[in-house]
Chain A
């Protein structure tokens, strides 16, 4: 065989084109694209492709076939390809190695194809198919089918969400729990919408409120609270991997990214439509040039980790640049589309219909983005600034001149120092005027060259050219676009943003609706909120998800109406009581036969301590505070603080989160490192949490403040009132008799602080029903 193959190779190159063309001239019965390509695609290409091939054979293109000697056009019996897929009776053919052997029909097709000249049009490239194709559930248009109606009791029929849930439960022979009591409900919804516990007074008022719309009033109050944006903004900051240090080796802290955090909080409080938010995130400079309140959205592009060490090796430097763009592509794909686009960097996505070309189309879109600070101001502002600055600078120049003159004539003139206060005053006024905001919003440059595919993700191996364009993934259901090679940089990002929020793009509203659901119920309808592809989970309530997504569009992409609809549903308001029979069928309560209990998130734990200790600083916005000591030479070091002043008593969302740093309590309770997008936090229970809450000085400080507060509010000597107040503040309820007794005993022996320290460590404080 070897010698035969060798001989073939010698003349094959010469004869290939001629034989192939001659044979093809007679009307062939086999069509390559229709009959043969699917065989290669199904049985061969996974191993035999240009990238990641096993052995030395590729069956991807006609050139590959010409380069190997496996097929002799017109001569099936001399074609090695046919030999390996057929076998002597009773034996397994050599190929394919994995999966069933080719059927006789398929072998016959191959034989005919070779006999007819093995014609393979240049344009047909055989690609490995992803596991999911474009008919994958999340890529189909939103399903706008009827609401379930049959067999739904009246109190579960009013809110469409309840209809879907009741029907889903019924299909599993389950029924929902009874409504939660008011104490549990106000605690649940207050944490959910604001991240803080209700005060005892708020609980009391709600429990006593007899009006029929007491709960609705409560929900409206919470949604209108500025605390809402702080709580839900934190969820979004996780998704966009918002971090305030550069990461990698150098990891310098970044001091001008915080306006983005404030922008997110404010946008949520204002209920800014999400489609607008997306456009501001990707192309804020196109829709609000010079307006800091709009351009600040661009921080999204550049708030991921960045390697700034400065590599002199050109190959390494190019790869680092490619990694930087890759980071932006992945963040964008996951945050808005729930697609793991990054997997298509080196080859077509193995699971989802995202080609390598799609990936590099996005690369072309972001190729002009650079991580940098930039002064964001309108031309008018800049002119105004220059106008105001000019007389001051003139004044200063005169003063400095005068001072120099006096210095010269020191002996007999006026003392030069006399002018110093005046100079300082002018300096102060100049400094005040010079503060046009420099934001971490990136710098944009027109890419100098057309973008190419990087073969195997290697920036040195340039493949075919691509243009900025929409993903082929949604080509059948949504609008598409394709920009010219030299399209303006900004137009590329704007086109992508508009495509992401196009009315018929089914992914964006699905992904967003799912994120909302996830934070209300602990788990999304899709349990993998940033992966709606093949490797992600399938939806537990597909019709409900689509209904919510459609509703979001109908509400003009505003979130608050959807929040309200969800938290006023019976599904949300039911009790979290455990029922063994229901758990047998649905142990994780994914079908929502109860409200799933949850532990507070890291920020909620810390903010709760501050609030019940009575020391929470409710100040909003501005530069963040730090729970670490920052030191820097060529690299940065973050050392967690051992003692805390009131400057750290702000809500945790205002913490300046640095990458690869670890701070007590927040890191222990699973606050993410923001090295990458975190769509769903892991919830762990660890000894290090116990050590932090028992032994770290923060808890002890909070216990001390809590004790002070109790003395003030319940009387210095009235231990039973102190205990009562502490339970109300911490758990939203009065102590049971045995709890009161045990508490009094501890209090008597070791004082109020010991009792407060125990409460801060209690499970009830940090679990919600």
Chain B
């Protein structure tokens, strides 16, 4: 969608080049994406209907299988061989050196010998997929999940790793997948943002806001932060302003702005600004409703674990519930975090188990397991999974060895696991493999660009044609890469 054409069109009184029109439209109609902007409807009143150029054609390339995305992110580098990627050889060779890489120096330093997973694995579902017994609830969904065991990252550092997994670039300043998809498809609900990021109660993930940034895309495509523990910023009236005063103030403001817009034709931003104030007012009403979990039935609250005695688990469960409510309301992309950035001790606040793997994951897995499984169940029962693509991601995996003088594992960007399920995804399959110890992706290595090329494909978008010009290039979420993972498509 290179917006470089210079197609003059008339809309009402305003004559706009295609580029100018889009710029105004981006700025004006928050929540409405490129595809709908370019739809025929918008040009219904145009006196020069398009002859050969079909609006939106550049965006929707394939039949869309999914309408929206739920991305669950476990920051800190969740260990693949302790959760998803069964490695019996690790147990057999426990305590022996990693062949060919004895004492390798990785992110934090020197590695010791191979270390078996502290937890047994067990077959799950009809597919019999071996899953860590730490995740008994999520294990029930394996027949719907397509595991990718051969993920690779470019960096072994959390911040750039998280940003890479979300934006396809290790450098900050690039748009997150949610921003790209919001830009392409907009929101289905004009009272809510297209892209919502739900940070964990423990805080933001490594590199914070860069993970849901709009980068060089227009600012309204950035993820709006919202969580059960944290409402949308500036959503409520300031203290000391009554609703009467608010109403009268808005009326006067509307009068001023209408008059000013009328006196300044040819500047469509002014009308867009009036619309933005109206949308903001609607958001003030609709956002608290969507985040009010009180109406959820008690049984469902229990299913999620939102009433759990463990405050971290209950908080994450409430965010899972919020995620479902947002998806149900047509939010295009929900980016749900389970854990935060590191602070103080490694592995305490996220999946970064450098020193005490067993203690760390005994703490994290119960927080993650039941609420996540309940969310997947709930989406399925409501039929939302038919239209929702679910992505589970982390920034990298961990070493099959323990770190020298510790019982934890160091970072490993050379092989790890992510998974997909839901709309368009074939369940119960596994793609790629690491070597026998889980050290490196060995069969069909997959990059983050392949991952998103596939996600975009399922959303009906050709990843090579979703572009935006910035500093010398028509940039893409998939950079100059991306192979669609046909093996995990259900069609």
Hey, which bits of chain A sit against chain B, CB under 8 A?
247-251, 305, 307, 309, 311-314, 316, 323, 334, 340, 342-343, 351, 528, 530-531, 533, 535-536, 578, 580, 583-584, 587-588, 597, 599, 633-635, 637-638, 640, 659-662, 664, 668, 670, 673, 675-677, 679, 682-692, 694-697, 699-700, 738-739, 742-743, 745-746, 749-750, 754-755, 757-759, 761-764, 767, 769
Q: Is the CB of B473 within 8 A of A691?
A: no
In the bound assembly, the distance between CA atoms of A646 and B158 in angstroms comes to 38
In the bound assembly, the distance between CA atoms of A687 and B192 in angstroms comes to 10
Of A309, A316, A531, A584, the residue contacting B8 (CB under 8 A) is A584
Q: Is the CB of B473 within 8 A of A316?
A: no
Q: Is the CB of B269 within 8 A of A599?
A: yes
Q: Is the CB of B234 within 8 A of A696?
A: yes
In the bound assembly, the distance between CA atoms of A313 and B412 in angstroms comes to 11
Q: Is the CB of B253 within 8 A of A761?
A: yes
- Which B238-266 residues have a C-beta within 8 angstroms of A? 238, 240-241, 244-245, 248-249, 251-253, 255-257, 259-261, 264-266
Q: Is the CB of B157 within 8 A of A587?
A: no
Query: In the assembled complex, which residues on chain B have CB atoms less than 8 Å from the CB atom of A685?
Result: 27-28, 30, 269, 272-273, 276
The 9 closest A-B pairs by CB, nearest first: A249-B159, A340-B472, A578-B266, A675-B173, A690-B280, A691-B234, A687-B280, A675-B172, A685-B27
A-B contact pairs, 22 of them (CB 8 A): A249-B158, A251-B159, A309-B158, A536-B472, A578-B267, A583-B14, A583-B266, A635-B342, A675-B171, A675-B173, A676-B471, A684-B219, A687-B220, A687-B280, A692-B234, A694-B277, A697-B238, A699-B238, A742-B255, A761-B253, A763-B273, A769-B264
Known contacts: A685-B273, A691-B233, A700-B238. The answer to whether A659 contacts B172 by CB under 8 A is yes
Query: In the assembled complex, which residues on chain B have CB atoms less than 8 Å from the CB atom of A684?
Result: 26-27, 218-220
Q: Is the CB of A670 within 8 A of B256?
A: no
Query: In the assembled complex, which residues on chain A have CB atoms less than 8 Å from the CB atom of B238?
Result: 695-697, 699-700
Q: Is the CB of B276 within 8 A of A660?
A: no
Residue of A nearest to B242 (CB): A750
Q: Is the CB of B106 within 8 A of A312?
A: yes
Q: Is the CB of A688 within 8 A of B253?
A: no
Known A634-B343, A685-B269, A761-B253; further 7 A-B contacts with Cβ < 8 A: A528-B469, A580-B265, A583-B14, A635-B206, A660-B209, A668-B219, A695-B236
Query: In the assembled complex, which residues on chain B have CB atoms less than 8 Å from the CB atom of A530?
Result: 471
Of A342, A597, A637, the residue contacting B267 (CB under 8 A) is A597
Does B364 belong to the interface (CB within 8 Å)?
no
Residue of B nearest to A696 (CB): B234
Q: Is the CB of B252 within 8 A of A755?
A: yes
**Which among A637, A660, A670, A769 has the greatest number of chain B C-beta atoms within 10 A?**
A660
Query: In the assembled complex, which residues on chain B have CB atoms less than 8 Å from the CB atom of A334?
Result: 471
Q: Is the CB of A587 within 8 A of B218?
A: no
Per-residue CB contact flags for chain B residues 267-300 toward chain A (1 = under 8 Å, else 0) read: 1011011101101110110000000000000000
Q: Is the CB of A673 within 8 A of B173?
A: yes
Q: Is the CB of B283 within 8 A of A676?
A: no
Query: In the assembled complex, which residues on chain A have CB atoms less than 8 Å from the CB atom of B253?
Result: 758, 761-762
Known contacts: A248-B207, A583-B15, A755-B252. The answer to whether A695 contacts B234 by CB under 8 A is yes
Of B30, B156, B171, B255, the residue contacting A313 (CB under 8 A) is B156
Of B19, B224, B241, the residue contacting A700 (CB under 8 A) is B241
Does B126 belong to the interface (CB within 8 Å)?
no
Does B41 belong to the interface (CB within 8 Å)?
no
Nearest CB of chain A from residue B249's CB, rounded to whole Å: 5
Of B27, B160, B281, the residue contacting A248 (CB under 8 A) is B160
In the bound assembly, the distance between CA atoms of A377 and B238 in angstroms comes to 50
How many contacts A-B (CB < 8 Å)?
252
Query: In the assembled complex, which residues on chain B have CB atoms less than 8 Å from the CB atom of A668?
Result: 219
Does B109 belong to the interface (CB within 8 Å)?
yes
Of A587, A664, A690, A764, the residue contacting B276 (CB under 8 A) is A690
Of B203, B207, B208, B235, the residue contacting A691 (CB under 8 A) is B235
Q: Is the CB of B233 within 8 A of A664?
A: yes
Q: Is the CB of B472 within 8 A of A754?
A: no
Nearest CB of chain A from residue B141's CB, rounded to whole Å: 32
Known contacts: A535-B469, A675-B173, A688-B220. The answer to whether A248 contacts B159 by CB under 8 A is yes
Q: Is the CB of A535 within 8 A of B474?
A: yes
Nearest CB of chain B from residue A665's CB, rounded to whole Å: 10
In the bound assembly, the distance between CA atoms of A680 and B183 in angstroms comes to 20
Query: In the assembled complex, which residues on chain B have CB atoms less than 8 Å from the CB atom of A690?
Result: 273, 276-277, 279-281
Q: Is the CB of B280 within 8 A of A351?
A: no
Residue of A nearest to B267 (CB): A597
Query: In the assembled complex, which residues on chain B have CB atoms less than 8 Å from the CB atom of A755?
Result: 252
Known contacts: A316-B157, A758-B252, A762-B253. The answer to whether A664 contacts B207 by CB under 8 A is no
Q: Is the CB of B27 within 8 A of A683?
A: yes
Does B20 belong to the interface (CB within 8 Å)?
yes
Known contacts: A316-B107, A750-B249. The answer to whether A660 contacts B208 by CB under 8 A is yes
Query: In the assembled complex, which residues on chain A have CB atoms less than 8 Å from the CB atom of B109?
Result: 312
- Which B101-139 residues have a C-beta within 8 angstroms of A? 105-109
Query: In the assembled complex, which residues on chain A have CB atoms less than 8 Å from the CB atom of B245?
Result: 749-750, 754
Does B213 belong to the interface (CB within 8 Å)?
yes
**Which among A313, A597, A670 has the greatest number of chain B C-beta atoms within 10 A?**
A313
In the bound assembly, the distance between CA atoms of A286 and B427 in angstroms comes to 64
Does B442 belong to the interface (CB within 8 Å)?
no
Of B26, B159, B173, B284, the residue contacting A309 (CB under 8 A) is B159
Query: In the assembled complex, which residues on chain A have CB atoms less than 8 Å from the CB atom of B474?
Result: 535
Known contacts: A311-B107, A635-B341. The answer to whether A687 contacts B260 by CB under 8 A is no
Nearest CB of chain B from residue A585's CB, rounded to whole Å: 8
Known contacts: A583-B15, A696-B234, A767-B264. The answer to whether A762 contacts B256 by CB under 8 A is yes
In the bound assembly, the distance between CA atoms of A763 and B28 in angstroms comes to 14
In the bound assembly, the distance between CA atoms of A756 and B108 in angstroms comes to 56
Of B218, B260, B276, the residue contacting A689 (CB under 8 A) is B276
Nearest CB of chain A from residue B216's CB, rounded to whole Å: 8
In the bound assembly, the distance between CA atoms of A640 and B209 in angstroms comes to 12
Query: In the assembled complex, which residues on chain B have CB atoms less than 8 Å from the CB atom of A682?
Result: 216, 218-219
In the bound assembly, the distance between CA atoms of A312 and B108 in angstroms comes to 6
Does B407 belong to the interface (CB within 8 Å)?
no
Does B17 belong to the interface (CB within 8 Å)?
yes
Query: In the assembled complex, which residues on chain B have CB atoms less than 8 Å from the CB atom of A759?
Result: 256
Q: Is the CB of A340 within 8 A of B473?
A: yes
Does B237 belong to the interface (CB within 8 Å)?
yes
Query: In the assembled complex, which residues on chain A have CB atoms less than 8 Å from the CB atom of B264?
Result: 578, 597, 767, 769
Does B464 belong to the interface (CB within 8 Å)?
no
Nearest CB of chain A from residue B282's CB, rounded to whole Å: 9
Nearest CB of chain A from residue B394's CB, rounded to whole Å: 15
Nearest CB of chain A from residue B421's CB, rounded to whole Å: 30
